[in-house]
Amino acid sequence: MRTSQLVLSALALSATVAFAADQPSSTGPRAICKADVATLCSGVQPGGGRIAGCLKQNEAKVSPACKDALAKAHEIKASPKSGSAQ
């Protein structure tokens, strides 16, 4: 059971890394939200989901472009890959 959890975690992490690598650096959420992060989360140390948490806490102040980029990234990450066996 523990081994299967580790395998699933590794697969999820590699899928996230692959997704991030596929994103053009100038049009991905990181680039689009850069100003929002600088303004709203300047004192937050990156890593462990802290920046995402900060943006979530300040959701009312996040720019529409950043909200849209984050939503699109979440949709892509959550959607099943075509042709995968289930």
Rounded Cα gap, residues 11 and 14, in angstroms: 5
pLDDT per residue as tens digits for the range 28-83: 899 999 999 999 999 999 999 999 999 999 999 999 999 999 999 888 888 876 55
Distances (CA, A) of 78 to 2, 5, 34, 75: 24, 19, 23, 5
DSSP 39-65: HH-TTPPSSTTHHHHHHHHTGGGS-HH
- 18 pLDDT above the threshold of 70: no
C-alpha torsion angle, residues 18, 42, 69, 74 (rounded to 10): 50
- 6 pLDDT above the threshold of 50: no
Better-predicted residue by pLDDT, 63 or 4: 63
3-state helix, strand and coil shares in percent for the chain, rounded to the nearest 5: 65, 0, 35
pLDDT at 15: 41
Identity of residue 7: V
pLDDT at 82: 57
pLDDT at 85: 53
pLDDT at 78: 86
